Amino acid sequence: MDPAKLKAATTYNAAADHFDDGPLAFWDRYGRRTIERLQLKPGSVVLDVGCGSGASAIPAGKIVGPDGRVIGVDLAERLLAMARAKATAQKLENIEFRQADMETLGYPDASFDAVVCVFAIFFVPDMVKQVKELWRMVRPGGQHAIATWGLRMFEPGSAAWWAAVKQFRPDLHAAFNPWERIVTPQSVSQLLTDSGIREAEITAEDARQVLQSPDDWWTVVQGSGYRWTLEQMDDETIARVRDMNLETLRNHDTRSIETNVIYATATKT
């Protein structure tokens, strides 16, 4: 596996132990809202790439019903196992969760009524090539939806986290964070235009995730992309980073973090 994919798979397999915890309810919320923005119908066939633990695939499966079908693909087998368990618990037999790389799916042209990618497009080095590839698989009249993080993801938790990382592991501080590649409606719009999608509806939605306590923030760190940075640290360093990070949040009486989202939806004519 190439290093970027190994990094994504390692991060999210590790994060699986907290990915579905309460303070990370935003995965389910934005997955569901991305699906609500589409015109899915009973019988529709949907592809969800970077599907994680099923935040968008499961609501899609409910709408398309037994005559429809959803294929969810992800690199992280542990998240896929959680997704399968949730689908089974909800008696959804129309969703197939596959371990696969979204860059090499190769389904025929026009295979899907909708192709969905929530918080995952930025992991692929060539985003334009990837969006072209996803668009190719949308049938005429079908739809493509992308969701990405907006500006100030997880602030002020994020700034306090990176300050603590800088203090104890400065070598990890300036690391490349894929989700920072595309954080404005303009950049999402440009990505779609560069990919040959002429008309798209782009909506930026500012929102917050409530934290019941500073500990909730640490759950977010463990269940999100920050897990990669944590995985590079020994236990003693993790404890120091955690203490400094949470003390900052306590001192500022932080009760929520920003979870701003950008949704893009396009219909193929």
Ligand X SMILES: C[S@@+](CC[C@H](N)C(=O)[O-])C[C@H]1O[C@@H](n2cnc3c(N)ncnc32)[C@H](O)[C@@H]1O
Using CB under 6 A as the criterion, which residues of the chain lie in contact with ligand X when the complex forms? 5, 8-9, 12, 27, 31, 49-52, 55-56, 73-76, 79, 101-103, 118-120, 123-124, 225
- Joined together, the tokens standing for residue 262 give 């950008």
| Rg of the chain (C-alpha set) | 18
Compute the least distance from the CB of residue 239 to ligand X, in Å: 26
Q: How far is the CB of 180 from ligand X (least distance, A)?
A: 13
Beta carbon nearer to ligand X, 158 or 248: 158
Please, which residue, 14 or 238, has the CB nearer to ligand X? 14
Distance CA 20, CA 222 (A): 11
Q: Which residues contact 89 (CB under 8 A, 6 or more apart)?
A: none
Dihedral class, residue 223 (left if φ above 0, else alpha if ψ from -120 to 50, else beta): alpha
- Sequence-distant (6+) residues with CB within 8 A of 215 are 246
**Smallest distance, ligand X to C-beta of residue 130, A:** 8
CB of residue 56 vs ligand X: minimum separation in angstroms?
6
Closer by beta carbon to ligand X, 49 or else 114: 49
Give me the count of residues in the chain.
269
Smaller CB distance to ligand X: residue 103 or 155?
A: 103
Measured from each CB, the residue nearest to ligand X is 52
Closer CB to ligand X, 10 or 237, in the complex? 10
Contact (Cβ atoms closer than 8 angstroms) between residue 155 and residue 257: yes
